[in-house]
């Protein structure tokens, strides 16, 4: 086998996580050869990467690249529809279970992993009830404990000061940015292992966006965060690791500092410098 | 590399490259003219060199302004970011080269009418030729984004240092032999040092060009040959340098 032949083989080998893995700190999730099918349409092709514990990992890429599809695999959102199918593994640590395995109950996964969506979607209830809902569903009913957890979650979401005197008022009375922080508090209340954010600031004005970004960087010290964003500058601002996806493939996964100053792959460079996408 | 979706971004970056190339050409000319004025004791040429330095300074300001504006407007990443930072750094080095040429030109007045040291003149011409070659090569490597050429420039400074070392010792000899020479020789020592510094700036530019293209800093220590700061000066007139 000559050099050219060897090089050709290396080209088609699956991408392996290149963020200098094991020396970087504890791993919270490991995605191994993950493929996903919307019935017969393949949306993810053998994705490999790592999610480090209590770090912010951003997933970027052009429209239709599969970033939201990938994110939703983490909390089994796809299971809500009948013909969807996973191949490969998403191993959650420290439990070491494959959370996309058919043997694992999606409900159990969603109890550990929370999600916040692009459009703020509080329940049509009071502020208090929104945050407490996740606790009640888990059988935590003792009032003093729930009160405490609601206050803690709202404080962590940088919302407590603004709502503490009107906890029983409707969540719909809040502004867009406040509603989104409420959704974050709602996701935080049950003390999740991981928080998934799907373009959380796309619908918000720049100041509300900045406050949520600040919130994300603070929260990262207590909960692992994976964020999908189409805003590259946002990924550059708040993430520690960035994954670039294109056409359902993981093109490059790297420390953010290096991704945005000296990426390895030509496709990554073209995307982040605005040469395609 | 494909073009940016925003064409204006490409225009901005090309504008920066063009300005650096223009500034480089101007710096080269200033060096040629300054040494020519020195060796021919041509005062009016020297005065022109001093006046022309303002153009180099103006170009540096223009490049800085354009770079800062592009940073603010485009939030550049990766190679684009490195290109803009490179333009800022290279313009600094070129501006210093211009200043060094101006400094040489200023000394022509002080040297005019004095005796000429043929050996030294030849040495200075030789060193200048080496520096101009380095400068041409490094500006080429920038315009063509040629990392290999940049490395070659980066490694080639020792020859210039060697000539400077020997010029330094030679001038020391003249000064020791005849104290009346000291005035002229001191100026010539400064001139030689200025040319040697120009060579160093060329290697700085080479490092920046390499970083711009490869995204990595040249890690090894650059080969350095200048020993003039360590050359011992004999303390009594009887002891001569060989």
Which CATH number is B183's domain given?
Answer: 1.20.58.220
**Which pLDDT does position A87 carry in this prediction?**
94
**Cβ(B16)–Cβ(B59) under 8 Å?**
no
Query: Domain for residue B215, yes or no?
Result: yes
Query: Domain for residue B238, yes or no?
Result: no
Which structural domain, as residue segments, surrounds residue B84? 7-230
Q: Measure in Å the smallest separation between the Cα of B16 and chain A Cα atoms.
A: 17
Given CB atoms, is B75 within the 8 Å cutoff of chain A? yes
Structure tokens at B222: 């650059």
Query: Domain for residue B236, yes or no?
Result: no
In residues, how long is chain A? 277
Average pLDDT over residues A187-199: 95
**Which pLDDT does position B236 carry in this prediction?**
61
Query: Domain for residue B235, yes or no?
Result: no
Give the pTM.
0.82
Number of domains in chain B: 1
Instruction: Decide if B76 and A273 are in contact by the 8 Å CB cutoff.
Output: yes
To which residue do tokens 């600094």 refer?
B92
Residue B136: how many other CB atoms lie within 10 Å: 15
Question: Which 3 state secondary structure label does DSSP give B6?
Answer: coil
Query: Domain for residue B138, yes or no?
Result: yes
Average pLDDT over residues A143-151: 96
The C-alpha atoms of residue A184 and residue B109 are separated, in whole angstroms, by 75
**Cβ(A233)–Cβ(A259) under 8 Å?**
no
Q: Which of residues 211-230 of A touch B (CB under 8 A)?
A: none
Query: Domain for residue B65, yes or no?
Result: yes
What tens digit of pLDDT does each residue of A207-222 get?
A: 999 999 999 999 999 9
Domain limits, chain A:
17-272
Query: Domain for residue B41, yes or no?
Result: yes
Average pLDDT over residues B98-113: 92
The C-alpha atoms of residue B202 and residue B208 are separated, in whole angstroms, by 10
DSSP code of residue B41: T
In this prediction, residue A277 has a pLDDT band, given cuts at 50, 70 and 90, of: low
Q: Measure in Å the smallest separation between the Cα of B8 and chain A Cα atoms.
A: 12
The helix or strand, by DSSP H or E, that contains position A58, with its residue range, turns out to be strand A56-60
Instruction: Decide if B6 and A274 are in contact by the 8 Å CB cutoff.
Output: yes
Average pLDDT over residues A140-167: 95
Burial code (b: 16+ CB inside 10 Å, e: under 16) for A9-25 equals: eeeeeebebebeeeebe
Sequence-distant (6+) residues with CB within 8 A of B85 are: B67, B212
Report the residue from A233, A263, A277 with minimal CB separation from B78.
A263
Instruction: Decide if A275 and B215 are in contact by the 8 Å CB cutoff.
Output: no
**Which pLDDT does position B116 carry in this prediction?**
74
Q: Is pLDDT at B162 greater than 60 in this prediction?
A: yes
**Which pLDDT does position A48 carry in this prediction?**
95
Given CB atoms, is B51 within the 8 Å cutoff of chain A? no
Report the residue from A233, A260, A276 with minimal CB separation from B78.
A260
What percent of chain B has pLDDT above 90?
76
What is A17-272's CATH topology? Rossmann fold (3.40.50)
The helix or strand, by DSSP H or E, that contains position A182, with its residue range, turns out to be helix A176-188
In this prediction, residue A12 has a pLDDT band, given cuts at 50, 70 and 90, of: very low
**Cβ(A196)–Cβ(A115) under 8 Å?**
yes
Q: Is pLDDT at A110 greater than 70 in this prediction?
A: yes
Average pLDDT over residues A146-162: 95
Distance from chain centroid for Cα A124: 25
């Amino acid at each position: 086998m000559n050099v050219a032949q060897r090089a050709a083989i290396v080209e088609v080998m699956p991408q392996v996580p290149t963020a200098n893995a094991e020396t970087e700190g504890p791993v919270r999730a490991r995605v191994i050869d993950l493929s996903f099918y919307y019935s017969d349409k393949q949306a993810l092709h053998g994705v490999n990467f790592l999610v480090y514990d209590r770090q912010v990992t951003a997933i970027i890429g052009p429209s239709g690249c599969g970033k939201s599809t990938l994110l939703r695999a983490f909390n089994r959102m796809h299971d809500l529809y009948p013909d969807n199918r996973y191949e490969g593994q998403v191993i959650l640590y420290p439990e070491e279970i494959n959370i996309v395995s058919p043997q694992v109950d999606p409900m159990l996964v969603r109890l550990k992993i929370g999600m916040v969506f692009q459009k703020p979607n509080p329940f049509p209830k009071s502020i208090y009830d929104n945050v407490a809902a996740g606790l009640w569903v888990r059988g935590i009913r003792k009032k003093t404990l729930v009160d405490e957890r609601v206050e803690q979650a709202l404080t962590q979401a940088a919302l407590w000061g603004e709502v503490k005197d009107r906890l029983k008022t409707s969540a719909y009375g809040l502004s867009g940015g406040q509603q989104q922080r409420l959704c974050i508090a709602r996701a935080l209340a049950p003390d999740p292992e991981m928080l998934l954010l799907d373009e959380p600031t796309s619908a918000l004005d720049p100041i509300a966006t900045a406050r949520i970004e600040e919130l994300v960087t603070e929260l990262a010290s207590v909960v692992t965060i994976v964020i999908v964003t189409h805003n590259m500058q946002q990924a550059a601002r708040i993430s520690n690791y960035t994954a670039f996806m294109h056409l359902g493939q993981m093109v490059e996964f790297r420390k953010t500092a290096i991704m945005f100053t000296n990426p390895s792959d030509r496709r990554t460079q073209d995307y982040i410098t605005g040469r395609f996408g | 590399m494909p073009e940016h979706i925003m064409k204006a971004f490409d225009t901005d970056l090309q504008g920066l490259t063009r300005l650096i190339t223009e500034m480089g050409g101007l710096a080269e000319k200033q060096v040629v003219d300054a040494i020519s004025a020195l060796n021919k004791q041509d005062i009016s040429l020297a005065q022109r060199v001093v006046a022309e330095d303002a153009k180099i300074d103006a170009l540096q300001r223009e490049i800085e302004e354009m770079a800062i504006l592009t940073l603010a407007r485009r939030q550049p990443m990766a190679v684009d970011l490195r290109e803009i930072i490179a333009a800022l750094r290279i313009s600094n080095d070129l501006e210093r080269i211009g200043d060094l040429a101006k400094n040489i030109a200023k000394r022509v007045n002080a040297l005019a009418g004095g005796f000429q040291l043929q050996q030294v003149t030849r040495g200075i011409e030789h060193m200048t030729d080496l520096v101009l070659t380095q400068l041409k090569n490094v500006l080429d490597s920038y315009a063509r984004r040629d990392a290999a050429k940049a490395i070659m420039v980066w490694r080639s400074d020792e020859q210039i240092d060697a000539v400077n070392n020997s010029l330094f010792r030679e001038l020391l000899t003249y000064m020791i032999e005849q104290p009346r020479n000291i005035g002229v020789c001191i100026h010539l020592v400064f001139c030689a040092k200025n040319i040697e510094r120009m060579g160093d700036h060329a290697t700085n530019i080479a490092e920046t060009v390499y970083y711009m293209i490869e995204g990595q800093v040249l890690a090894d220590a650059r080969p350095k040959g200048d020993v003039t700061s360590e050359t011992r000066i004999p303390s009594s007139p009887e002891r001569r340098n060989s």
